[in-house]
Chain A
Amino acid sequence: MSLAIASRIARRELSGGLKGFRVFLACLALGVGAIAAIGSVRESIRGGLDREGAIILGGDAALQLTYRFAEPEERAWIDARAEAVSEQVDFRSLAVFGTGETAERGLTQVKGIDNVYPLYGAVSLDPAITLPDALADRDGRPGAVMDPVLIARLGIEVGEAFRLGEQEFTLTAALIAEPDSAAAGFALGPRTMVRTTSLENSGLIQPGTLFETEYKLRLAENTDLDALREAAETEITGARWRDKRNGAPGVAEFVDRLGSFLVLVGLAGLAVGGVGVSSAVRAYLGEKTEVIATLKTLGAESRTIFLSYFIQIGVLTLAGVGLGLILGAIVPIAFAPLIEARLPVPAAVTLYPMPLLEAALYGVLAALIFTIWPLAQTEDVRAATLFRDVGTAGQGWPRARWIVVTLALFAALVALAAGFSGLVSLTVWSAAGMAAAFIVLVAAAWAVRMLAKRIARLRAIRGKSAARLALGSVGGPGGEAVSVVLSLGLGLTVLAAVGQIDSNLRGAIERDLPDIAPSFFMVDIQPNQLETFRASLAANPAVSDVQSAPMLRGIITKINGRPAAEVAGDHWVLQGDRGVTYSANAPDDAVVTHGAWWPADYSGPPQVSFATEEALEMGLSLGDNITVNILGRDITAEVTSLREVDFSTAGIGFIMSMNPSALQAAPHSHIATVYADAEAEGAILRDVSNTYPNITAIRVKDAIERVSDVLAGIAAAITYGALATLVTGGVVLIGAAAAGVRARTYEAAILKTLGASRRTILTSFALRSAILGVAAGAVAIVAGGLAGWAVMTFVMDTDYFFEPVSAALIVSGGVFATLFAGLAFAWGPLAARPAQVLRARE
């Protein structure tokens, strides 16, 4: 019965139009739209990766080996199971263009291919020639193609010759698109592609040098991938399997995580929008107080009235969510060419229902959370309101059951977000952070009001009309302090947190580097080159230190005879291959924390010294046996000591060090760190690459820049997400300013009547905006700083430093935003004639 009546009342009231609900609709639509758009892009990338899994991987399946090619019998086994097999070899090297003093050198990731490559997809070259043409011999040299970035870096042109190791190549084209590049993962250098056969005389692929081979397989359509994987991993020792179902697992996981994180940032935007939604509903119901009182006078029960307004707000919520979904669905499609162009992976941009459903659920829940309190307060409006002005109605706490309902809705929202994102602890912590920021901001708004009230009454402020008017307005009842501080504060908090995390991440790279970082990592130093290599560098006065160590790479396959993953889960040490060294004596700076180093002349069964922190994380202890597959051979060693390894020194650090007799016989190379004056780096690079063409020098500065670039990209994505939050905050702010126009016009009319000049009134309006902006900005710095500290300390496991520049920008941004919104809406009130305004209120 009451539902039918409530619906009729709601319909009549809604027929009055949506004028007061623009901010409500905008906030909800923006919040939902941002989340829907982020989810749609994430889904598009997932869709792209799924659709083009085989192209991205370069085959239906791939088997990767470290340090070696497949043995003939292994290759035969692979050939027998595939319709076609493409063999690739991948390693880092220096591309050298020119000779002598003017030669240019650039680190490159070389890919050696066979005649079958690519099994799927197509290589795109500039000029548009075929790959076989491009890699065929030219001018007596094998052809090669290069990433345009490297071409620009070297200053080389098509048709000119360059060198990889000891082999000269002719550059025949720029490599515009490589179909399976996303599967290759993070690379320090841009790509150079050549025929594997042309590398034979380069001296770059020798026993012990660092390279990886990959066998891409084209399989029959009905091949059982899981069965083949199991067989391959048993048959080919140390082989790592990937297949088209997840062609680029690293990329897919990264996109998933970043997408989920951005959805969390989007939820922060929805919370900011919620403040606007709540304010709009409060203002609407405030205007409806007389209607509610009249309805009560006419016999309507509280339940009927609550239902009536619940239905109205529900209809508006659906409209806002609907608008947001349209926005979130259309924007990625409209910007598809731009998105696809900027992504390094394929994206299938189309309409995806799941992210839209996710965003819709968040929107509805957020709207409920933020409107239930003002709606509940319709119960407290009494019929007597009609006869008495009850100015403070609806300001207090709602009844207990509504608090419980709100908490339940909040819990549901957090559970939903945790479920959708899969980042349970991050979601819970973010929600707790948001809730805490909310409480801190409400408390701050209250404190600002109290402080303003107190200062307004200070003797010192007397006679300063504009200041006292502003302070009185901030501190007085019915002001906009809470909604402005909350909406702007939340938006700025998200931005401040992102700013702190961003600058700390960037800073961490520089800060965590030791005071004296090496200039170069030199890899692939052959044992017979080591002595002369060290001697020539030692003779160079610009070189202060050279440290070297033998290096092999191996995969930990077993711990105490059991598969390693069963014992230590998915610890990073087990993911892929790790560097292994050997040493007769403990290094000078080694701190052995458990057990003892083997005697210098030890030649018994293999022993291993393991990094303490990682060993403890993996549950390893002295006496455990670990099996490491090196070059296809299993070596089982007993853990006889644990030692501290400080990876932050950027020096040489190995998780595992074995006794020499365990590894010495295996083909291997050496790695060296070279400490030199910055200005001598160019000359050292030139000398080393001229004397030892097979040695690859990685300039630490370049590597840091490359990592910084990747981090900057991530930070930019997060900043865009945070900006959506700030835009919503801006809408709320403008909404609050627009909603305050009537009150300001009235106030200005009274003040003019009392003799205030327009300048005094404008100054007062500006001051009050500035006070609220400073308050919101100050809280944002503290809350954002705390969030930054939490992320850096608990997620990134590094030190946190307060970054003042972005913090100062946040506060000024806050002040500017409130000033802008406040003053933009001040001209109307200032221009209005007092008589007309005051008489309208009579």
Chain B
Amino acid sequence: MTDAILSLNDATLSLDGNAGRVDILKGITLDIARGETVGLVGPSGSGKSSLLMLMGGLERASSGSVMALGHDLTTLGEDALARFRRNHMGVVFQSFHLIATMTALENVATPLELAGAKDAFERAEAELQAVGLGDRVNHYPAQMSGGEQQRVALARAAAPRPDILLADEPTGNLDGVTGQAIMDILFGLRDRHGSTLVLVTHAPELAERCDRVVRLQDGKVLADSFERAAE
């Protein structure tokens, strides 16, 4: 794949735990094309979220390389990684991870502000309007439901119009109906901004909405629908 926006080459991740060193990812090689939507699936503990963290530079690979937009994330320092994310990436988590001491508007405006956008608040407000929270801009996370908090998190991830959107089980903490609505918004945002979307999910119906599904097991890629299609 020549125009890969994300490219992992024999990437491994080992972490030191109480029970000793654990190999979480074992030689992942994967290319993801610009504009592609990829679903990462697999049983619990298979390494899906860890792989997503590696792609976002939130975790550093123990060996191998992780290239994003031509940058090797394994060689960048903490601050360079932060700068890279604010310019090119948006991340959504299962537990939303909003800053409790900030209102919805402030949460969404923060990455824009960090990126130096002069119109951070105007754009943040527009993004909140787009996810249907135009009337909750001044509410704090604790004053919102789980679904509303996840919509704020989505708006926050999408507001800087990132090249890459990473979502780690964004509906995992939500009921079916709310989860469905969140996914509609997520895919809508992705379509609107043309971002590449990598989505970790347990739900087969969500994975089916992706262009491509990568199945992980025991830290390795077990199956890749792209490769199957290529064959």
Partner-B contacts on A (CB < 8 A): 389, 391-392, 456, 462-463, 465, 468-469, 472-473, 475-479, 746-747, 749-760, 833-836, 838-839, 841-842
Contacts and interface: CB of A to CB of B under 8 A. Distances in A.
Nearest to B81: A752
Contacts of B95: 838, 841-842
Contacts of B85: 752-755
Contact of A754 (B78, B101, B114): B114
15 contacts: A392-B142, A465-B114, A472-B106, A746-B97, A747-B99, A750-B98, A751-B99, A753-B56, A755-B111, A756-B110, A758-B79, A759-B79, A835-B53, A841-B95, A842-B49
A126 B106 CA distance: 78
Given A462-B121, A839-B49, A754 B100 contact: no
B113 A757 contact: no
Interface of B: 15, 49-50, 53, 56, 58-60, 78-79, 81-87, 91, 93-95, 97-102, 106, 109-111, 113-116, 118, 120-121, 140, 142, 156
A477 B93 contact: no
Contacts of B121: 462
B114 A758 contact: no
Contacts of B81: 752
Contact of B58 (A469, A753, A760): A753
Contacts of B100: 391, 476-478
Given A462-B121, A758-B78, 11 more contacts: A463-B118, A465-B114, A747-B99, A754-B85, A756-B114, A833-B58, A835-B59, A836-B15, A838-B93, A842-B93, A842-B95
Sorted nearest first, the 6 A-B pairs with minimum C-beta distance are A755-B86, A476-B101, A391-B142, A835-B53, A835-B58, A835-B59
Contacts of A477: 100-101, 140, 142
A360 B221 CA distance: 66
A752 B106 contact: no
Given A472-B102, A835-B53, A463 B116 contact: yes
A827 B126 CA distance: 36
Contacts of A760: 114
B107 to A, nearest CB: 9
Contacts of A746: 97
B82 A756 contact: yes
A713 B140 CA distance: 54
A755 B113 CA distance: 10
B45 to A, nearest CB: 12
Nearest to B109: A462
Contacts of B83: 755, 757
Contacts of A463: 113, 116, 118, 120
Contacts of A391: 100, 142
A754 B156 contact: yes
B106 to A, nearest CB: 6
A736 to B, nearest CB: 15
B142 A754 contact: no
A752 to B, nearest CB: 5
A435 to B, nearest CB: 30
A102 B154 CA distance: 91
Contact of A755 (B49, B82, B94, B101): B82
A140 B86 CA distance: 98
B159 to A, nearest CB: 10
Nearest to A743: B100
A841 B111 contact: no
Contacts of B79: 757-759
B58 A754 contact: no
B86 A456 contact: no
B106 A838 contact: no
A754 B93 CA distance: 12
Contact of B110 (A469, A475, A757, A836): A469
A751 B98 CA distance: 10
Contacts of A749: 97
A462 B113 contact: yes
B84 to A, nearest CB: 8
Contacts of B15: 836
Contacts of B87: 755
B140 A476 contact: yes
Given A754-B156, A755-B86, A755-B87, A456 B118 contact: no
A472 B107 CA distance: 10
B198 to A, nearest CB: 15
A599 B86 CA distance: 99
Contact of A842 (B94, B111, B118, B156): B94
Given A473-B101, A753-B85, A468 B106 contact: yes
A557 B7 CA distance: 105
A468 B140 contact: no
A756 B106 CA distance: 14
A755 B58 contact: no
B43 to A, nearest CB: 16
B97 A753 contact: yes
Given A456-B106, A750-B99, A835-B59, A755 B115 contact: yes
Contacts of A472: 99, 101-102, 106
Contacts of A456: 106
A465 B86 CA distance: 13
Contacts of B115: 755
A753 B156 CA distance: 11
A760 B83 CA distance: 11
A23 B87 CA distance: 42
B53 A755 contact: no
A392 B144 CA distance: 12
Contacts of B118: 463
A25 to B, nearest CB: 28
A750 B141 CA distance: 14
A315 B58 CA distance: 44
A663 B15 CA distance: 101
Nearest to B100: A478
Nearest to B15: A836
Contacts of B82: 752, 755-758
Contacts of A757: 79, 82-83
B86 A754 contact: yes
Nearest to B97: A750
A462 B120 contact: yes
A384 to B, nearest CB: 15
Contacts of A838: 58, 93, 95, 97
A456 B78 CA distance: 27
Contacts of A478: 100-101, 142
Contacts of A755: 82-87, 111, 114-115
A212 B15 CA distance: 88
A448 B56 CA distance: 37
A758 B142 CA distance: 27
Nearest to B49: A839
A412 B142 CA distance: 39
A754 B111 contact: yes
